A and B are shown apart, each in its own frame.
Chain A
Amino acid sequence: MYLQIMEQIKERIAVGDWAAGQPIPSIRQLAVDAGVSVITVKRAYLELERGGVIVTHQGKGSFVASDPRVGKRIREQELAEHLEQAVRSAALLGLSSKDLEKRIRASYDRVADAEKESV
C-alpha cells in the first residue's frame, strides 16, 4: 500500500504538479485525501525522504526536495530499476551482457516501429 502512495507522489513530482522546494500536504491530510491510513502515508514519506525526493523540517512540514532536477531524477530511478530487473531476468537465462545489449537494441527497434505505425 505505501508503495502505491509513493508512486502517486513521485508521479506528481515527475509531471511537475508538485514543484521542487514546494510544501506538500501533511501526513494526516494526505491520508484523508487518499482514503488510506496515516501509518501508510507516514511510511511512504519516510521512504521518499530516505530517497532524497522530499525533505521534512521539524514543525514546518514536508517539502519536495529543492533540487530542480528532482522530477528527472525520479524518471532516472525508474529506468534504473527496470534495467536492473532486466539484468536479473537475463541472468536467469544465462545471457551475457553482450546478449542483453542485443536484446535491448531489438526491443528498441520494435517499440520505435510500433510508434511509427501508430502515427
Chain B
Amino acid sequence: MNNLAIELDGVCKSYRFFELENIALQLPRGTIMGLIGPNGAGKSTTIRILMALVHQDRGEVRVLGHRMPDEQVAAKWDVGFASDDMRLYDSMTLGWHMNFMKSIYNSWDAAYAQLLLKRFGLRAEQKIKGLSHGQRVKATLLLVFARRPKLLVLDEPTTGLDPVARHEILRELTDVMADDDRAVLFSSQNTQDVEQISDRITFIDRGHIIDSMDKETYLDRWRRLRLEVPTGVAIPALPGVIGIRRSGHLAVATANAFTPDLPSAYENSGARVHAVENMTLEEIFVANVERSREEVEAWEAM
C-alpha cells in the first residue's frame, strides 16, 4: 500500500486572475499538515482540487492512492472533508444528520459520535437553525470525524471560533493522530494552531508553494539576531540572511537559513550579537510574505 495519503505533482490550474503553478505536495500517512498562506494564495483551490471539486488543468493528484478526479468515488469513502460552505439542513436536528451519515457510511462510529457530542457541548435534539456559528462548525466536524476517515481534509476548521471551541477541535485533531495510519490536511489563518499541531507545514503564496517540509526543520531554519552596530561599522550581507532592519546603533537581522556560525560572522565584522532568538510561525509568515512581495516588485521593476 502507498505510504502517502496525498500526492500532488506538477499541478496547475489557471483562472482569469489567478494561477496555481506547479504544485507538488506529499503528505505521508500518520502526519498532520498545516497549509498556510495569505488570503487568495491558493489554499482553498488546492484543497478543492484534492477533493475533485475543481479539476486541475495539468498534473497528477492522488488521494489515498486513487487518481483524482477520475477515481474520486472510490477515494471519498475514506476521506472526510469539511469547509465553510458545507450546508446542513436547517430544519433538521443534529441527531437526524448523524443518522443520515450512519446510513451512508459503514465506518460510522456511534460511540465516538456520542463522545464528540459531549466533548463539543452539543445536543443531538438541537435543530441546526438554532445553532451558533461555533456550534455549526463543531456539528459539521462531528459528522466528519465520527466516520473515522483515513484522511481528513479541513478548510479553515478553526476560523471564527472562540478560544475554547478552537481548543476542543485541535484536541480532537491530535487525538486522531493516535492512529498512525491516518492523516490530516488542514488550512488555517491561525499560525498558532498550525505551529501547535502540525508535523509538516506547507506555505503557499500567490499560487506557488514557497516551502513544504517538516515543521521542526522549518522553524529551526529561521532566527532573529539582535545586533549592536558601533559607529563606522558596516553590516555585511551574509548568506542565509534575508533582511536587516537598522535603527540607530541597533539592527535586527532575519535569517531563513540559520547556521551556528552566523553570529560569529557578525562578531567578526565588528558588530556585537546581543541575542539570537527563535521565531514563531506568525513572525516567519510575515517575514516570508514580505520577502516574496519585495522579490516580485524587484522583478517587475526590472
Contact B195 A39 (CB under 8 A): no
The interface stretch among B39-47, B128-136, B149-157, B169-177 is B169-177
Asked if A1 contacts B195 (CB within 8 A), the reply is yes
For the residues of B in contact with A, the DSSP-based class is mixed
A3 to B177, CA, bound (A): 21
Contact of B174 among A2, A32, A92 (CB under 8 A): A32
Query: Which chain A residues lie closer than 8 Å to B216 at the CB level?
Result: 2, 39-40, 42-43
Interfacial chain B residues near A40, Cβ < 8 Å? 215-216
CA distance A22 to B278 in the complex (A): 32
With the chains together, A67 CA to B232 CA distance in Å? 53
Q: Is the CB of A31 within 8 A of B196?
A: no
Q: Contacts A2-B216, A92-B274 hold; do A39 and B199 have CB atoms under 8 A apart?
A: yes
> Bound state CA distance, A108 and B197, in angstroms?
41
- Report chain A residues within 8 Å CB of B171: 35
Given A1-B195, A28-B180, A92-B274: A36 and B215 within 8 A (CB)? no
Q: Which residues on the A side are within 8 Å of B196 (C-beta)?
A: 1, 35-37
Q: Mark A39-77, 1 if CB is under 8 A from B, else 0.
A: 110110000000000000000000000000000000000
Q: How many residues of B contact A (CB 8 A)?
A: 23
B178 CB–A CB distance under 8 Å? yes
Complex Cα–Cα for A42 and B219 (A): 14
Interface of A is mostly: helix
- Which residue on A lies nearest to B200, using beta carbons? A39
Set A31, A32, A39: member contacting B215, Cβ < 8 A: A39
- Kindly report which residue of chain B lies nearest to residue A32, judged by CB atoms: B178
* A37 with B180: CB separation less than 8 A: no
Q: Is A14 an interface residue (CB 8 A)?
A: no
Instruction: Give CA–CA (A37, B200) in the complex, Å.
Output: 9
Whether B30 and A38, one on each chain, are in contact in the complex, defined by CB atoms closer than 8 angstroms, is yes
CA distance A103 to B122 in the complex (A): 58
Q: Are B215 and A37 in contact (CB under 8 A)?
A: yes
Interface string of A71-115 (1 = CB under 8 A from B): 000000000000000000000100000000000000000000000
Tell me the minimal C-beta distance from A114 to chain B in angstroms.
28
| Nearest CB in chain B: distance from A52 CB, A | 21
- Identify 14 residue pairs between A and B in the complex whose beta-carbon atoms are under 8 Å apart, listed by A's number: A1-B195, A1-B196, A1-B219, A3-B278, A35-B174, A35-B196, A36-B197, A37-B32, A37-B174, A38-B31, A38-B32, A39-B199, A40-B215, A42-B216
